[in-house]
Structure 1
Amino acid sequence: MLVGAALQPVYAADEFGGIVTAMEGWGIDQLWLTDSSMHAKCCYSFATLAALHSRTMTIGTAVTNPITRHPGVSAVAALTQHEISRGRFRYGIGAGDRPLLALGYKPARLAVLEDAITATRRLWAGEEVTWEANGFSLDKAHVRYGAPAQIPLYVSASGPKTLEMAGRVADGVILLAGLHPEGLQYAISHIERGAEKAGRDARPSITVFGYGAIDDDEEIALAAGRTIAAWFPQTAPEYCRLAGLPEDIAQRVKSAYGGGEFQEAADAARLLPDDFVRRMSLCGDKSVVRDHLKTMAELGIDCFAAFPTTDSVESRLRTVQVLAEVAAEIKAE
């Protein structure tokens, strides 16, 4: 199984290349960069830096959306990254999340997302596209510069309808489902259902994101994982039920979640039991990481990516490094 890192592009640009080189040296296979509108720096600029400072790791958006980025514009951006990275770019797209609210938008409907995927692939193939699609239009649109390419396309998904759509059409799925087996099995079953309905021979590749921190100090680790755990009652409540969170607590957390990025959910997060936080996030020491990796290997998951949520650069990178170390130890056994 592969291991990855998902980062918000908030680092100093002149330091980020060194961070990427270090991560590749640790054994990180996938690097994902968030496209968080005004909540971070430009993911495509940082993807360029990452491509120029690495040789083997894949680099992707996690994730862009068809609301703030027209599919035609995103198609060109992805083809450019494909060229710069010499084929290592992965195009991650989703409906969009709470950062859209600051721009006055709501997440995309499923039909808009699927049409955006279709349009993007047609443009990548070199077609001239005229289409009144759901949520956007194209009029004799075609890519003028850059060779046609088939770039691996990943869909970010949690809910059953998006998971099934991803199973039908995506090359990969970025899975936000917590880290406990019941939630992961639930999500995988919907992905496989979509793949089966489409007559595909196999389901798409699956990368699971684990938000939080790896730390010997459990309080630090729990604090890092608590805010993403508060995201689930608001955005993907089915995983709360599967993880055993009482309905009254889920409703209180949902009411207290003020919006914005998951890091802004501190008040809501304090309402959550520690056991629920452990089930939904990456929080603990090396032994916890080892358990997660073994569970995911048993479920046939292709990659586990750490999304560190601590404040300091050093602690975030330490989480990524420890994940790579534990994966290497397991592989050597």
Structure 2
Amino acid sequence: MTGLGAVFRPQLPPERLRGVARAADRAGLEELWLWEDCFLESGIAAASAALAWTERLKVGVGLLPVPLRNVALTSMEAATMHRLFPDRVVLGVGHGVQEWMGQVGARVESPMTLLREYVTATRALLRGEKVSAQGRYVRLDEVALDWPPPVVAPVFAGASGPRSLRLTGEVADGTILDAAVPPEGVRRARELIAEGRETAGRTGHHPVTVYLHTATGHTAEARLRSELERAGQSGTPGLGVAGDAAEIARAVRRLAEAGADTVVLQPTADEPDPEGFVRFTAEAVGPLV
């Protein structure tokens, strides 16, 4: 069965999150996803608030930029959230937008090396291990969490290029793909992830979460077209969907058939009714997928 979620865009002010999260929870939405984009909103602070305001909603953060965050701090925050809200947290990490990382003096020479070291250390810390590491970027001296999650928490990683996708298969517990990936791109991503898992000798299922540009309502087509143009993605066939619940559900199913375990509907930055969008996702699209 395909999981279904929606994004709370950080272009909205933080004070709008409470209403959107509660609307999603009441409507029965499975997952609400947040972003930690510079210089908009904190992913951890926003996720913690959304979880506290709701009863059953699962909240994901995709992505936390690893050059910006010490690995021990992220692991402490992740462990705390998993203990406070068991089975309701999904955290993803990624390279971060390199321009933004440069703006804050955190850009690294090898994002791939950093992500490998970071995910490896984070997973070990969340397993309750005492970790020492002297990597190129991640350096820990007998660090262990006093309050690791009682159940091992998964660490997802975002990726787009072939090398990063193979890396997520090697070291992460799941992969997050952004909305620039059409169904054929999901199929290719699955192949690359599988190559990484084979290299690492890993078995079992590796979940993939995919964002989907989505617009509904009487201005849907124009808003989606503008969104894709702003993102420089208007020339990619099969990207995004504008229309009613049936049309959006068909787009979700196409991504699921290509290998997505969870599809997260990403509204346009100018979505006029964010609360209505999460209700629409849960109540109108959900039953069709």
Q: TM-score range by the shorter chain?
A: 0.7 to 0.9
Matching of residue 310 in structure 1 with residue 269 in structure 2: yes
What residue is the counterpart of 1:235 in the other structure? none
Return the alpha-carbon distance in structure 2 between the equivalents of residues 124 and 148 of structure 1. 9
What residue is the counterpart of 1:290 in the other structure? 249
What residue is the counterpart of 2:30 in the other structure? 29
Bigger Cα displacement from structure 2, 127-136 vs 101-110: 101-110
What residue is the counterpart of 1:104 in the other structure? 105
What residue is the counterpart of 1:118 in the other structure? 120
Aligned residue for 2:204, secondary structure, equals coil
Count of aligned positions? 285
- % identical equivalent positions: 26
Bigger Cα displacement from structure 2, 129-138 vs 61-70: 129-138
Bigger Cα displacement from structure 2, 86-95 vs 110-119: 86-95
Letter in 2 for 1:321: R
Letter in 1 for 2:222: E
Aligned residue for 1:63, secondary structure, equals strand
Q: CA RMSD in A?
A: 2.5
What residue is the counterpart of 1:56 in the other structure? 56
More helix by share: 1
Aligned residue for 2:269, secondary structure, equals coil
Do the aligned residues in 2 keep the contact of 1:179 with 1:282 (CA within 8 Å)? no
Q: Following TM superposition, by how much is the alpha carbon of 1:136 offset from its aligned partner in structure 2, in angstroms?
A: 2.6
Q: Under a length normalisation based on structure 1, what TM-score does the superposition of the two structures give?
A: 0.76
Q: Indicate the structure whose relative CO is greater, using CA pairs within 8 Å and at least 6 residues apart.
A: 2
Q: Following TM superposition, by how much is the alpha carbon of 1:21 offset from its aligned partner in structure 2, in angstroms?
A: 1.7
Q: Following TM superposition, by how much is the alpha carbon of 1:59 offset from its aligned partner in structure 2, in angstroms?
A: 1.6
Return the alpha-carbon distance in structure 1 between the equivalents of residues 184 and 112 of structure 2. 25
Query: Which residue, 132, 143, 146 being the options, matches 1:144?
Result: 146
Do the aligned residues in 2 keep the contact of 1:58 with 1:88 (CA within 8 Å)? yes
Aligned residue for 1:131, secondary structure, equals strand
- Report Cα offsets for 1:201-246 as digits up to 9, x if no partner: 3341111011353333311221133323x1x6xxxxxxxxxxxxxx
Instruction: Provide structure 2 residue ranges, at least 5 long, that are not aligned to the other structure.
Output: none
Letter in 1 for 2:59: I
Return the alpha-carbon distance in structure 2 between the equivalents of residues 112 and 85 of structure 1. 28
Q: Under a length normalisation based on structure 2, what TM-score does the superposition of the two structures give?
A: 0.87
What residue is the counterpart of 1:223 in the other structure? 226
When residues 16 and 53 of structure 1 are mapped into structure 2, their CA distance, relative to the original with a 3 A threshold, is: same
When residues 284 and 87 of structure 1 are mapped into structure 2, their CA distance, relative to the original with a 3 A threshold, is: same
Do the aligned residues in 1 keep the contact of 2:186 with 2:259 (CA within 8 Å)? no
What residue is the counterpart of 1:181 in the other structure? 183
Q: Following TM superposition, by how much is the alpha carbon of 1:13 offset from its aligned partner in structure 2, in angstroms?
A: 4.7
Return the alpha-carbon distance in structure 2 between the equivalents of residues 27 and 200 of structure 1. 34
Q: Which runs of at least 4 in structure 1 moved beyond 6 Å after TM superposition?
A: none
Q: Following TM superposition, by how much is the alpha carbon of 1:100 offset from its aligned partner in structure 2, in angstroms?
A: 2.0
Q: Following TM superposition, by how much is the alpha carbon of 1:152 offset from its aligned partner in structure 2, in angstroms?
A: 1.5
When residues 34 and 14 of structure 1 are mapped into structure 2, their CA distance, relative to the original with a 3 A threshold, is: closer
Return the alpha-carbon distance in structure 2 between the equivalents of residues 283 and 106 of structure 1. 36
When residues 226 and 325 of structure 1 are mapped into structure 2, their CA distance, relative to the original with a 3 A threshold, is: farther
- Report Cα offsets for 1:15-50 as digits up to 9, x if no partner: 422321211233321222111232x12221111111
Return the alpha-carbon distance in structure 1 between the equivalents of residues 18 and 140 of structure 2. 36
